Amino acid sequence: MRRDVFQAIADPTRRAIIALIALQAMSPSAIADHFSMSRQAISKHMKILTECELIRSDHQGREIYYQLEISKMKEIDIWLEQFRKIWETRFSQLDELLSTIKKQKK
């Protein structure tokens, strides 16, 4: 079954993993150290993130390091952009309304 990026980011643990490796590449054990669950559970989350191409593994000798796949994150950003524009318009309208109310109270 092919998963998409939105299924991957729906889980809070996977979002936390993404946030961790966004800062720097990390080994599976370093990632697992940040969570109070089994390494097997973390491994399942990592597998889903890898299947969705949100992260990729880089072999350096005997070690494996996971890093964020920026191009897939941009896919999420592009989808969210449509909503960002709506929110910004609504916030601007709210600012104008609040400004009008303040002027009327003076």
pLDDT in tens, 12-43: 999 999 999 999 999 999 999 999 999 999 99
Tell me what the mean pLDDT of segment 66-88 comes to: 89
**Average model confidence (pLDDT) for the chain?**
91
What is the residue extent of each domain of the chain?
A: 5-105
The matching CATH number, chosen from 3.40.50.1820, 2.40.50.140, 3.90.226.10, 1.10.10.10, for 5-105 is: 1.10.10.10
CA distance 38 to 33: 10
Give Cβ neighbours of residue 6 (< 8 Å, ≥ 6 apart): 76, 79
Residue 18 tokens read as 């993404």
pLDDT in tens, 68-77: 998 888 888 8
Predicted confidence band at 11 (pLDDT cuts at 50, 70, 90)?
very high
Whether the per-residue pLDDT at 105 is higher than 90: the answer is no
What pLDDT, on the 0 to 100 scale, is given for residue 1? 57
